[in-house]
Structures are given as structure tokens and as C-alpha cells.
Amino acid sequence: MIVMKFGGTSVEDAAAIERSCSIVAERVSRRPFVVVSALGGATNGLLEAGALAARGEVRKATAIANALERRHAELLPSAAEHFVRLRELLKALSAIGEFSFRTQDLIASYGEALSSLIFTDRLKRMGFEAIHLDARQCMITDDNFGKASPLMDRTTARLEEMASPHRCAGRVVVMGGYIGSTTSGTTTTLGRGGSDYSAAIVGATLMTADPRIVSGASKVKEISFDEASELAYFGAKVLHPLTVLPAVEKNIPVYILNSKKPKGSGTRITREARPCRNVIKSIAYKRGITVVTVSSSRMLMAHGFLKALFEVFDRHRTSVDMVATSEVSVSLTLDNVSSLNAIVEDLRPLGDVEVASTMTLICLVGSNLKYTPGVARRAFSSISDINILMVSHGASNINFSFIVDEKDTDAAIQKLHADFFHEIDPEVFEPPG
Ligand code: ASP
Ligand code: MG
């Protein structure tokens, strides 16, 4: 059995869906279980429509819904029916005037609910026996709306009950990723980018070996689970961090393939990294990072300060990615700034708060880092003309991260790349082209 996951760009339009269905078709003998994301951009559109409606801007919200309807109905005419309900929901939202996590999940669920129906329909029209599984009946989660966690026992039982008979009968099973429901049937989502997680859960519950997670592209032929998890944060578009976990636990090999280059060998994620002549496997970066610095002389020798500080971020459900502390100040990086103003207000009692936005987090990842001295010196000397605002090294011995101003991103990446990859180990890397 294989699990094949197709991300938003792999199902963004008729041509992409066609291509992705052909990739499935070539592997029917391996009894594929297909997990799909919403059509590229659909989740963003749905959430934007919901937010607008809740602000009373029903006309704009409806316009987005109508555009989404056209995209979906072109691929599957019966999709139009779902939009009747969606527009009603948007109206209701404008009356209520708020957009809770619970309602966000309900609105966002239209994306995967529809893309999975579209994919199933396309496979059937290609002549395959395909069956649609409603993820809300198998992916059972807690009620942490916005980022729910699957209840593994129940999910395993449901998936087995609902998918196994079809798989035994040789049907291709198609399910939407990202969405699920609570035990009482309320729609939930696993958090943005969660379709990979859905796929990994299906893999971990139904498989004995060899899931393939089909999504993005890469020129690295092989990376370890650890390296992949470090990179996942940066390449969240390609691989959801949590994906790695169910697979690691079961020692199941995972492949990342590019649906636009179906013949490519992709990247294999292995349990252990094999020795590589390059010190680092990848340079990852993330733009749009915000650095928050809290300085307080009260912090000197005081205990409980960091706890109070992190509690603020916890309260606003904002995750902190990198932390550096000195005797009297703490700097933290965020990429989700939706609650930034409220966070800053809550931090003020702790000390002076400074916010620097439009920063870039650069990260060198590779399991050789831990054996190789002088990586920091080498990295910093290749970008000696660029200002480095914050550094983190050691917390994980396979990653070395630092912050630069966003305007320096390209120059820094190019210089680091030229330095670390002027020769590549052919065992681990596929030459570009
Ligand atoms: N469609 C969802 C999102 O855009 C989940 C996913 O694609 O993995 O976040
Ligand atoms: Mg994704």
C-alpha cells in the first residue's frame, strides 16, 4: 500500500489534477490511498471571505465565494451546491460579527471537502474505481479548533472500518487532508498545512511500509528525519513538520516528490543521515520574521521571568521559533504576527519591548554540523559584510540559525550557497538541471 498526498499546487487546476491523477493511475497496483489538499489558494480565500463577512463586508466576502465557486464548479458542476450553504454561512457570520476558531474550521473545511470530491470524480472518469472518504468521518480529533490533534485510537478504528473494505476490493480511496471532526461531529482542522499530517496519520495507521508523500520539489536525494524536521519549518509549503513524526515512530520511509516532474526520484527521508561530504545539506530561510526584544534590569538574577514571558505567547497561541537571551534582555522570533499588538501590550509590564519586523531567519541544516568545527566562522566570514542581528546555535546540533535584515536575504543566501555548495557530494545531491 502507498499513501500519496497531493498539495494545493498539485491540484490547483484541471491540468494539475489531470497530472496528479495520472501519477495515481500509474501506481494503482500498489493500492494507493490518496490524500489531497484544497485547490491552491482555496483555504486562504475561504478564510479571507469568513474574516470579511465577520467584519460586515458581506459583498466582498460573497465575491470571493463566487470566484471560488467558479473555480470548483468548472471542475465538478455539483460543487456549486456547496457554495449555496457557504454563502448562507457567510451571511450568518456577518450577523454574529465574530469569526471563532470553530467557525474558521468549518469555513476552511470546504476546501478539502471539495477538492477530494473533485479528485475522486476525475479518477472515476479516467476509468478507475475510486471511492471518496469524508475525512470528517474518519479523522477524529480533540476540540482544539484551529489546530486540533487527532485521537489516534478512534481515527485508526474509523479508517480501518471505512477504508479497508474498499482497499481490499481494489478501489483507490481519496480523502481530503487537513480536516476532521470531534467525537461529537463538529468540524475541525489540524492547522494550516495539515494535509501532510493527515497523510502521515493514514500511513501510520494503515500501512506497514513505504508511504509516499507527494508534494514539493527538491534536489537533495536523501535527508534524515532530523534534518527534515528542521527544514520543515522553513519549507512548510512542502512538508508539514508533524508529518515526520508518525513516520519516524514507525520507521516508515517517506518520499517527497514533485508532481510536476513525475519521473523524478524525489527526496527520500531516512531514519539516519548517511555520511555526506558537504557540511550542510541545506540553507533554508524564512522572510517576514518579527523579532521581539524584551529588556529589563529586573531580569538580572530573577527567576520566573522567562516563564512569565512565555506565558504571554502561550496565551495568544503564538509560537516562538528562536530565542536568544542575555543577562538583561530576551529576543524572540515570530512568524505569526496576528496577535502582535496584544502580545506587546501584555509584555510591557515585564520590561521595555522593542519590535523589529521584516527580518529573515536563515538556517543552515545538516547532521554533519555536529562533527564539524568552524561552521559559524565559515558562515559568518562568507557574509562578513552583512549585519547579523541574532544567532542561535547548539540547541539542536544539526542547525545553525541567524537573523538578518530582509533586504539582505538574497545576498546572504547566494554567498552562503557559493561557499558551502561549490562542490556537491553526488551520493546525496542531484546536480541541478
Ligand atoms: N489547505 C490547507 C492549507 O492551505 C491544508 C494543506 O494544504 O495542507 O493550509
Ligand atoms: Mg502543504
Nearest CA residue ID for atom 6, ligand 1: 193
Q: How confident is the model at residue 245 (pLDDT cuts 50, 70, 90)?
A: low
Average pLDDT over residues 136-156: 95
Higher-pLDDT residue of 428, 138: 138
pLDDT given for residue 195 in this prediction: 92
DSSP per-residue string spanning 81-102: HHHHHHHHHHHHHHHHT---HH
Q: Check whether 208 has a pLDDT greater than 50.
A: no
408 by DSSP, 3-state: which?
A: helix
pLDDT given for residue 399 in this prediction: 85
Nearest CA residue ID for atom 5, ligand 1: 193
Q: How confident is the model at residue 243 (pLDDT cuts 50, 70, 90)?
A: low
Asked if residues 145 and 101 have their Cβ atoms less than 8 Å apart, the reply is yes
Asked if residues 202 and 159 have their Cβ atoms less than 8 Å apart, the reply is yes
Per-residue model confidence as pLDDT tens digits over 212-228: 333 333 357 777 777 87
Tell how far the Cα of 223 is from the centroid of ligand 1, in angstroms: 24
Tell how far the Cα of 178 is from the centroid of ligand 1, in angstroms: 6
CB atoms within 10 A of CB 66: 13
Atom of ligand 1 nearest to the CA of 194: 8
Per-residue model confidence as pLDDT tens digits over 253-294: 677 776 766 666 667 777 777 778 888 888 878 889 999 999
Tell how far the Cα of 21 is from the centroid of ligand 2, in angstroms: 18
306 by DSSP, 3-state: which?
A: helix
Identify which ligand lies nearest to the alpha carbon of 237.
Answer: 2
Atom of ligand 1 nearest to the CA of 111: 1
pLDDT given for residue 302 in this prediction: 67
Average pLDDT over residues 201-220: 51
Q: Which residues of 135-157 are buried (b: 16+ CB within 10 A; e: fewer)?
A: bbebbbbeeebbbbebbeeebbe
CB atoms within 10 A of CB 167: 17
Ligand 1 lining (C-beta closer than 6 Å): 7-8, 37-38, 43, 111, 177-178, 192-196
User: What letter represents residue 108's amino acid?
Assistant: A
Greatest mean pLDDT range, 316-325, 335-344, 414-423: 335-344
State the Cα–Cα distance between residues 93 and 102, nearest whole angstrom.
12
Tell how far the Cα of 345 is from the centroid of ligand 2, in angstroms: 33
Half-sphere exposure of 368 (CA within 13 A, CB side): 16
Tell how far the Cα of 224 is from the centroid of ligand 2, in angstroms: 19
Tell how far the Cα of 196 is from the centroid of ligand 2, in angstroms: 6
Atom of ligand 1 nearest to the CA of 197: 8
Q: How confident is the model at residue 211 (pLDDT cuts 50, 70, 90)?
A: very low
Asked if residues 92 and 50 have their Cβ atoms less than 8 Å apart, the reply is no
Q: Which residues of 238-265 are buried (b: 16+ CB within 10 A; e: fewer)?
A: bbbbbbbbbbbeeebebbbbbbeeeeee
Atom of ligand 1 nearest to the CA of 38: 1
Residues 6+ apart with CB under 8 A from 165: none
